[in-house]
Amino acid sequence: MHLDRTDFALLRLLRKNARIPNKDLAERVGVAPSTALERVRRMREAGVLLGYHAEIAPQAVGIGLQAMVAVRLARHSRPQVEAFHQHLIALPEVLNLYHVAGADDFLVHVGVRDSDHLRDFAMAALTSREEVAHIQTNLIFAFQRAPDLPIYAPAADAD
């Protein structure tokens, strides 16, 4: 799908506030509400927009501690890596999962109740697995999602 400046403007606004009313979205971009609605629908159907998310206060759901756990695997066959990925993403403590290149294989962003919960999670979900060679846990003191999205694709002229 080829995106133009109007599409990029819509994406930037939706990234900042996915609940913005279509009327306001259209007004801020300078198009008719029907145009904004159709463009957003088209981007959703094309897989440009993958979903809409609610940002939830961790403390409100009992998350008192967050950590980024670096995991290094002992072996790297595709079936083992894919199975470990599926294991991690199924765990309720896992908030985000990154399969990375470098010294480590995965970065696992976890949300837990407290340090005891973090220890128990690391032992049960990570160190007890034979494919895990090493873990390193870093506590997260603060987290904030960047409101802007860098857009590197060249914009076509507006339709």
Place of tokens 């990154």: 98
- Each residue of 56-94: pLDDT tens digit? 999 999 999 999 999 999 988 999 999 999 999 999 999
154 found inside a domain: no
Question: Do 111 and 39 have their domain in common?
Answer: no
Rounded mean pLDDT, 96-123: 97
Question: Do 35 and 62 have their domain in common?
Answer: no
- The residue among 120, 94, 117 whose CA lies nearest residue 107 is 94
Question: Do 27 and 64 have their domain in common?
Answer: no
How many residues are listed for the chain in this entry? 159
Asked if 95 and 127 touch (Cβ cutoff 8 Å), the reply is no
Asked if 87 and 126 touch (Cβ cutoff 8 Å), the reply is no
Question: Do 20 and 84 have their domain in common?
Answer: no
Question: Do 94 and 32 have their domain in common?
Answer: no
Question: Do 112 and 86 have their domain in common?
Answer: yes
Tell me how far apart the alpha carbons of residues 113 and 55 are, in angstroms, rounded to a whole number: 18
pLDDT at 12 over 80: yes
Question: Do 74 and 101 have their domain in common?
Answer: yes
User: Which of 54-58, 106-110, 127-131 holds the top average pLDDT?
Assistant: 106-110
The residues that bridge with 106 in the sheet, in sequence order, are: 71, 99
100 found inside a domain: yes
Confidence label for 118 from pLDDT (cuts 50, 70 and 90): very high
Rounded mean pLDDT, 34-41: 97
pLDDT at 154 over 90: no
Question: Do 68 and 129 have their domain in common?
Answer: yes
Question: Do 31 and 76 have their domain in common?
Answer: no
* Percent of the chain scoring above 70 in pLDDT: 97
- pLDDT in the model for residue 156: 63
152 found inside a domain: no
Q: What is the CATH number of the domain that holds 67?
A: 3.30.70.920
Asked if 66 and 113 touch (Cβ cutoff 8 Å), the reply is no
Which one has a higher pLDDT value, 54 or 28? 28
Q: Which domain holds residue 103?
A: 58-140
- pLDDT in the model for residue 147: 82
Rounded mean pLDDT, 34-44: 97
The residues that bridge with 109 in the sheet, in sequence order, are: 68, 96
Number of domains in the chain: 2
Q: What is the CATH number of the domain that holds 38?
A: 1.10.10.10
Instruction: Please report the beta strands in the chain, taking only residues with DSSP state E, as ranges in sequence order.
Output: 65-73, 94-99, 106-112, 132-140
